[in-house]
């Protein structure tokens, strides 16, 4: 009787082990392996780090000064336009004031163009300063985590303001889906925030 019980127990044990093994293999086949890939939202990392926030504050202050200068010229042009309306057309004084107004208009156009180019240059220089740091920090984080690949993700915003913006978005938006990939963006921002030299002018 004991032998039968022992044999029955062994058989039950073998069956349980066999089923557990089969279940484990089925689970392994049905669950895809964890992806060794991560993503970084470059635009978000660039815009949301402390250094860029400080840069934006400086740019806003400079923009306000530029706008004051432009507004000053606009007021002078407006005043001259009022003077012209009060003068006799084709009189000597009228031509003198017309010339003065046209010079002011040209000066305003030149100033606006200069300010626009200066702002663009400063943004370009800032991007050139911080983007290599984003790349460096991303590589270090990826190496530390043992990642095989890190993809840059940039979700386009719709509607786009101009056709060329949409065209650029289509050409540069390569990652269409990244479910299951870890997102390193917040970690990249945290590392950028530790870099004191970025906070200096």
122 and 190 fall within a common domain: yes
- Checking if the pLDDT of 157 tops 60, the result is yes
Q: What is the spatial distance between Cα 126 and Cα 62, in angstroms, rounded to a whole number?
A: 15
Report residue 141: phi and psi, to 5°: -65, -40
What domain range includes position 148? 32-199
CATH number at residue 57: 3.30.910.20
Token pair, residue 155, equals: 């979700």
Domain count, the chain: 2
Bridge partners for 165 per DSSP: none
Q: How far apart are CA 115 and CA 70, in angstroms?
A: 9
Q: Say how far apart CA 192 and CA 133 lie, in whole Å.
A: 7
When mean pLDDT is compared over 88-92, 164-168, 186-190, the highest value belongs to: 186-190
Pair 69, 79 in one domain: yes
Q: Do 37 and 21 share a structural domain?
A: no
* Tokens encoding 18: 């066999």
**Do both 26 and 36 map to the same domain?**
no
1, 43: one domain: no
The predicted model gives 157-162 an average pLDDT of 80
For residues 21 and 93, state if they share a domain. no
Instruction: Say whether both 77 and 17 belong to one domain.
Output: no
More confident site: 92 or 11: 92
Residues 10 and 84 reside in one and the same domain: no
Question: DSSP per residue over 60-85, as a string?
Answer: HHHHHHHHHHHHHHHHHHHHHHHHHH
| Whether residue 22 is found in the same domain as residue 56 | no
Could you tell me if 192 and 134 lie in one domain?
A: yes
Q: In this structure, are 101 and 146 located in the same domain?
A: yes
Q: What's the whole-number average pLDDT of the chain?
A: 85
Closest residue by Cα to residue 187 from 147, 138, 151: 138
In tens, the pLDDT along 33-92 reads: 556 999 999 999 999 999 999 999 999 999 999 999 999 999 999 999 999 998 888 899
Is 0.75 surpassed by the pTM of this model? no
Same domain, 6 and 55: no
């Amino acid at each position: 009787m004991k032998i039968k019980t022992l044999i029955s127990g062994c058989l039950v044990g073998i069956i349980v082990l066999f089923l557990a093994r089969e279940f484990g293999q089925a689970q392994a086949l049905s669950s895809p392996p964890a992806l060794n890939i991560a993503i970084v939202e470059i635009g978000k990392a660039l815009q949301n780090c402390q250094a860029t926030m400080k840069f934006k504050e400086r740019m806003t202050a400079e923009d306000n000064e530029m706008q004051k200068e432009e507004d000053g010229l606009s007021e002078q042009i407006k005043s001259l336009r009022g003077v012209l309306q009060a003068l006799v057309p084709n009189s000597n004084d009228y031509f003198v004031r017309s010339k003065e107004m046209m010079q002011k208009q040209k000066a305003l156009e030149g100033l606006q163009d200069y300010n626009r180019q200066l702002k663009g240059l400063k943004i370009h220089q800032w991007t050139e300063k911080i983007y290599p740091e984003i790349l460096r920090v991303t590589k270090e984080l990826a190496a530390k985590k043992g990642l095989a690949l890190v993809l840059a993700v940039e979700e386009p915003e719709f509607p786009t303001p101009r056709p060329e913006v949409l065209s650029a978005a289509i050409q540069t938006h390569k990652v269409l889906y990244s479910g299951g990939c870890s997102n390193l963006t917040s970690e990249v921002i945290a590392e950028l925030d530790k870099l004191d030299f970025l906070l200096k002018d």
